[in-house]
Amino acid sequence: MRQRYKYFPFPSLHVAELLTFVCKSQAVIMIRIFLTGYMGAGKTTLGKAFARELGLTFIDLDWYIEERFHRTISELFRERGEDGFRRLEQSMLHEAGEFEDVVISTGGGTPCFFDNMDYMNRQGQTVFLDVPVDVLFRRLRVATQQRPILQGKTDDELRTFIGSALEGRMSHYSQARYRFDGSRLEDRHQIAESVGSLRRLLEL
């Protein structure tokens, strides 16, 4: 009588080991990436391009909040105060943080409140876009009208404000698993290069 398992391809594996091997070989990798960093660091610019490259969904947390509550971030700040807004932001982070195959761009202050960094580190891969103050200043100097907190500041005041705020938040930003140079996002070529560099860093 012919032996049914004559050509069994894994003769040295026990059943449990074989099952583990099969499960791993058939597993679908779920991707969830959180981008953190100061305003103007390029989280949205890089996040959109990176998500497009990998066929993922991109979520800007601020936009997500605004769509859910039909209010701008500034309006929500005024209506709820900072503490109320940060609790709302935490709730929305936990909601968006359950989605799969996503790149989530967080607000500049998101990592600095509650256990948000611990939560993001548990949920996925966290990347801090590290950008020098001079580069942030150059980017934000032309965008003060879109960012109320920066309006009315002279160049010297703006540079000092950015440097002080960045220093105060660094202890939170530095908890990200990866640190990435976000200074090269000035044109399509640099963005494409940065996408490739981030893929290599995350091994994706």
Query: pLDDT, tens digit, for every residue of 176-198?
Result: 999 999 999 999 999 999 999 99
Q: What is the pLDDT of residue 26?
A: 45
Homologous superfamily of domain range 30-131+173-202: P-loop containing nucleotide triphosphate hydrolases (3.40.50.300)
Which of helix, strand or coil describes residue 189?
helix
Report how far residue 43's alpha carbon sits from residue 36's, in angstroms, rounded to the nearest whole number.
7
* Average pLDDT taken over every residue of the chain: 89
pLDDT of residue 6: 39
Whole-Å CA distances, 155 to 142, 151, 162, 163, 180: 11, 11, 11, 12, 27
Report the pLDDT averaged over residues 4-15. 44
First vs last C-alpha separation in the chain: 49
pLDDT single digits (tens) 13-57: 455 554 454 444 445 689 999 999 999 999 999 999 999 999 999
- 65, containing H or E segment: helix 61-69
Sign of CA dihedral 40, 129, 116, 165: negative
Render pLDDT for 63-93 as a digit per residue (tens, 0 to 9).
999 999 999 999 999 999 999 999 999 999 9
**Predicted pLDDT of residue 136:** 96
Confidence at residue 143, expressed as pLDDT on a 0 to 100 scale: 80
34 close to 126: Cβ distance less than 8 angstroms: yes
Q: How far apart are CA 181 and CA 129, in angstroms?
A: 6
* pLDDT score at 13: 46
Write out the two tokens for 132.
């020098």
The pLDDT of residue 7 is above 80:
no
Residues 6+ apart with CB under 8 A from 29: none
- Residue 9 Cα distances to 5, 20, 23, 29, angstroms: 9, 15, 16, 25
Cα 75 from chain centre: 24
